[in-house]
Each structure stands twice: as C-alpha cells, then as structure tokens.
Amino acid sequence: MTLHAIWPYIIPLALLIWGAIKAKAIKEAIDWCWNRIRYGKPLTVELREVGDDKHLVSISTQLDRYTVNFYIFLRVWVVNTNAVPTVPKEWVLNITKGKDKLKAEPVPDFSKWHQHTKVEKEQQGFKFIEDIREKLPALSNQPLQQGIPSEGWICFLVRDTEDSLLNGSTLHLTLIDSFGRKHPLKANEPWNIKGSMVNPEKLW
C-alpha cells in the first residue's frame, strides 16, 4: 500500500489519538478535583523528635575509616483535618546530604529499643541524677478520625554508611495514606531529642 493510498486515513487517526489523550487528561483532572472536594485538606504531619543508634559494620585495614548500620528514630505527630477517616499506610524516608541521596528502609519492629535519659533531681537537699528508660510506642496504624491526633515512633535503617550521616543532612519524610495521597515533610538540623536510643542486645 502506497503513502498516497493511506494518506486519507492519517488525519482521522491522528485526531482519534489526540482525542483519546485529551479525554484521559480531562478524566485525570476531574478525578483530582473530585478527590480534593471529597477528601479535603491533606493530613497535617509534624516531626517531634529525631534520634539514632549506630552499630558497627566494618573497619578499614588502616583503621582510619569505619561504617555502621544507622538506625533513625522519628517521633511523629499526625492529625486528620477532614471528616473522612484515613489510615497511614506507608512511610518513606529519603536523606539528602550535598549531592548524595539515600533511601532508608523501614524497620517494622523496634520494640527492643528504648529511650535513655538522665534527669537531675533533688531530694532532701541532695541533688542526684536519675536514669530513665522509656519504651518507644510505635505510631498506630488505626484510622485517623477528624481532629484526633495520633503520635508515636517510626524507625528506619541505612546500612553500611558513615556515622556522621545526619550531620548537615535534610530529611524528606513522606506519609502515604489509604487513599494513595502523599503528605511530604522536610526537616533540617537541629534535631530535637531528649535522650539516646539504646538496644541492650546491640550495644556495638
């Protein structure tokens, strides 16, 4: 078949393809507007504390460099401002430092860790330091009702990295809810933390 023979079909075919692309774009725009109307504002996410724990992985033969498995603990606060309940489905953490970008892997079970703080107290005129060990309650995965905040810890791991990972870094935390919406949060130093993270079974 020659080009002259198929030429009458090219323009209708091009119009058909263009119409299909335009229809898809219109549908996506309508869906986006409908979701905004139906589900309202995104969740409000705040980062309350940033802690870490480091476990030695390797040491160079010259003993001038070593790497660690770097655990990152985040205490987050989340509230749903809309009447439609939603569930925190997934947390994603990326760390940028200069031109480098690392993606941390989630740690589902961090129940063996606790937060260790030292508090100065006074009794009968004598001052002393009391060691306090608190558990790290995980953030609930129950549906978030309107106006009722949820607070708790989430944990991530970056393997085989430098122990100065968080120095000068930016945290990019994203919450993905049960409707597939993304709620990003960016945080820089200084980090707020009231005590160190300790796992008695992994002291080194």
What contacts 9, CB < 8 A, 6 or more positions away?
none
- CATH number of the domain to which 140 belongs: 2.60.40
Q: How does DSSP classify residue 149?
A: -
pLDDT of residue 199: 92
- My answer on whether 76 and 11 are in the same domain is no
Output the pLDDT for position 37.
45
Over residues 106-154, the pLDDT tens digits come to 999 999 999 999 887 777 778 878 888 999 999 999 999 999 999 999 9
CA atoms within 13 A on the CB side of 46: 8
- Cα distance between residue 196 and residue 115, in whole Å: 6
CB proximity list for 178: less than 8 A, separation 6 or greater: 86, 87, 88, 89, 143
Residue 63 corresponds to which tokens in the numbers above? 């003993």
Domain assignment present for 113: yes
| 51-106 pLDDT per residue, tens | 999 998 888 776 678 899 999 999 999 999 988 999 999 999 999 998 899 999 99
Q: What tokens does 98 get?
A: 């200069």
In the chain, the number of structural domains is: 2
82 shares its domain with 93: yes
| pLDDT tens figures, 14-46 | 666 766 677 676 666 555 555 554 555 579 999
List Cα–Cα distances, 109 to 33, 157, 175, in angstroms: 38, 12, 18
- pLDDT confidence of residue 11: 64
Closest CA to 154 of 170, 134, 175, 181: 175
Q: Nearest 5 degrees, angle CA 80-CA 83-CA 84?
A: 85
Looking at residue 131, its pLDDT comes to 83
* Residue 71 domain boundaries: 41-198
Q: pLDDT, tens digit, for every residue of 150-197? A: 999 999 999 999 999 999 999 999 999 999 999 999 999 888 988 899
The counts of H helices and E strands in the chain are 1, 10
154 and 114 fall within a common domain: yes
Same domain, 50 and 21: no
Is 204 a member of any domain?
A: no
Residues 3, 71: one domain?
Answer: no
Angstrom distance (rounded) from CA 144 to CA 87: 6
Question: Is residue 184 within 8 Å of 42, Cβ to Cβ?
Answer: no
- Report the predicted TM-score, pTM, of the whole model to 2 decimal places: 0.77
Would the pLDDT of 2 be above 90? no
- Report the distance separating Cα 39 and Cα 100, nearest Å: 36
